[in-house]
Structure 1
Amino acid sequence: MGVIELSGNPPIAVTLRRSSRARRISLRLSGVDGRVTLTLPPRVPEREGMAFLREKESWLRGHLENRGEPVRIGLGAMVPIAGEPREIRPGSGRSVVLETGALLVPGPEERIAARSLGYLKTLARERLAAASDRYAAVLGKGYTRITLRDTRSRWGSCSSQGALSYSWRLILAPPEVLDYVAAHEVAHLAHMNHSRAYWDTLTQIHGDWRAPRRWLRENGGELHRYRFQD
């Protein structure tokens, strides 16, 4: 793995990696930190990778320009919660309080980000557990546990042992998007694949899933703009 530079205004740093599992050249722009990665199969010369990079330069620069700036969480910052923008404001007492248009966070300013993050993770767990319970009951299958992570490449997963894992950032998305991801993973309790039977099961327990799935594809990267830790 190394770093190459795509010249231009401005130049773009590109991480170059080789993968024994890659069957073709691929280019990825991280929705989390804007990192650009060019992946090559083992025997593809680097010059072919550079040629591919040049072919995709307009696409790459367009997406980089459209990326929103990172949002550092602190007093006055705006963050979506359940899809609704909220301003982080000073709170009183000991508890974080969610209000229309605001998240009230008590305590010293240097603890605002950490306390906000703790509250959001707790809220995410509550709502994801409720949604998972609801869809599991419809499906007639149980899961073993729920884990929250801050994953870059997927919003949820289901293991063969029935363990569900979700990104806590789903609490930032509209409720119907969080519900869809819960249903998507619960449906894997019946089918550990994406076969026709799987999609039929997902439709059976959730209904039409295309709109929230489309929202995630088009807007999911924005949920990673919010930085609670350095």
Structure 2
Amino acid sequence: MILLHRVERVESMLSTNLQYHIVYSKRRTVGIEISPDGTVTVRAPLRMPEKDIEQILMSKLDWIEQKRRMFQRKSEKANRVLNTEYEEGSLMPFRGERYPIHRSFHQGLKKPIVSFDGNSFTVRIGKEDKDSIRQAFLVWYKKAATEEFLQRVDFYKALMQETVGTVRIKDQKSCYGSCSSKRNLNFNWKCILAPSEVLDYIVVHELCHLRHMNHSKEFWAEVEGIFPNYAKAKRWLKENGILLEI
């Protein structure tokens, strides 16, 4: 989600050699976020002394390390699961499932072409070039993501009787979606790799931000009213989001 009234970002380090970023904004409480790459971000109220922030971090060191170890385990799992060779029979993710690749050579074909028949991916190539094949998959996935998200946004905005600005599909590292004050929605193409109900949750989540630009109790009540099974999809993202890669 967008952060309103962000004013300053500071890089600091504890005496324990824990590096962290501080984001000061108009808020009342301190929040600590651990990114999948292990980055620690502290969201703090304006003018809060850094020594107070350090005390809070020191009290949370065990929790921070626990979170980092969890992300490390997920990263190791992802490295075992993710396909990087794009060979015949390799499995590619799509809508929560994994489908095999079938390859065919076509002399003179300048760029690989990817297609999907519901059971497997077909990759037509003119020469062996792993990077070009990956780019062809990216093109295909982004087109599929655009179609899926536009359909789901149209369905849920009509259901909620909301108006939406521009819908864009982006390449983002960790954010699944965002909503701006101008009612524009951004979605990460990688979400097309997740189960369909997860895409529904992401769309509903961002549409509900049109009414609540926060994660208050009222916001989550709004999400639940539109998508009652949101907790399952939210948990799936938390446990498997790191696997949304090709």
Following superposition, the deviation at residue 101 of structure 1 comes to: 4.1
Whole-angstrom CA distance in 2 between matches of 1:123 and 1:79: 14
**Matched position secondary structure for 2:100:** strand
Give the structure 1 partner of residue 208 of structure 2. Answer: 187
Do the aligned residues in 1 keep the contact of 2:23 with 2:41 (CA within 8 Å)?
A: no
Given candidates 86, 89, 101, the residue that maps to 2:99 is 86
Whole-angstrom CA distance in 1 between matches of 2:172 and 2:237: 14
Give the structure 2 partner of residue 28 of structure 1. Answer: 34
Indicate how the Cα distance of structure 1 residues 47 and 142 shifts in structure 2: closer, same or farther if over 3 A, else same. closer
Give the stretch that moved more between structures: 188-197 or 158-167.
188-197
Whole-angstrom CA distance in 2 between matches of 1:58 and 1:195: 26
Structure-to-structure mapping, 1:19-168, within 5 angstroms: 19=22, 21=24, 26=32, 28-30=34-36, 35-39=37-41, 42-43=50-51, 53=61, 57=65, 60-61=68-69, 63-67=71-75, 68-70=77-79, 71=82, 72=84, 74-76=86-88, 77-91=90-104, 96-107=114-125, 108-110=127-129, 111-168=132-189
Do the aligned residues in 2 keep the contact of 1:106 with 1:112 (CA within 8 Å)?
A: no
Asked if 1:216 corresponds to 2:237, the answer is yes
Do the aligned residues in 2 keep the contact of 1:183 with 1:202 (CA within 8 Å)?
A: yes
Q: Percent identity?
A: 28
Corresponding letter in the other structure for 1:86: Y
Corresponding letter in the other structure for 2:39: T
TM-score by length of 1: 0.74
Whole-angstrom CA distance in 1 between matches of 2:145 and 2:85: 17
**Matched position secondary structure for 1:130:** helix
Indicate how the Cα distance of structure 1 residues 44 and 74 shifts in structure 2: closer, same or farther if over 3 A, else same. farther
What do residues 175-224 of structure 1 show as CA deviations (whole Å, max 9, x unaligned)? 11011111111222233333444334333333332211111112112214
Following superposition, the deviation at residue 169 of structure 1 comes to: 0.6
Whole-angstrom CA distance in 2 between matches of 1:44 and 1:84: 46
Give the stretch that moved more between structures: 103-112 or 172-181.
103-112
Following superposition, the deviation at residue 86 of structure 1 comes to: 1.3
Q: How many residues align?
A: 213
Structure-to-structure mapping, 1:193-208, within 5 angstroms: 193-208=214-229
Indicate how the Cα distance of structure 1 residues 39 and 181 shifts in structure 2: closer, same or farther if over 3 A, else same. closer
Indicate how the Cα distance of structure 1 residues 61 and 164 shifts in structure 2: closer, same or farther if over 3 A, else same. closer
Give the structure 1 partner of residue 3 of structure 2. Answer: none
Mind listing any 5+ residue stretches in structure 1 that lack a counterpart?
A: 7-13
Corresponding letter in the other structure for 1:43: K
Higher relative contact order (CA 8 A, sep 6+): 1
Mind listing any 5+ residue stretches in structure 2 that lack a counterpart?
A: 1-10, 43-48, 107-111
Give the stretch that moved more between structures: 48-57 or 92-101.
48-57
What do residues 20-70 of structure 1 show as CA deviations (whole Å, max 9, x unaligned)? 53976957242xxxx322457833798997896577546644542443243
**Matched position secondary structure for 1:96:** strand
Whole-angstrom CA distance in 2 between matches of 1:62 and 1:187: 30
**Matched position secondary structure for 2:181:** coil
Indicate how the Cα distance of structure 1 residues 91 and 98 shifts in structure 2: closer, same or farther if over 3 A, else same. farther
RMSD: 3.4
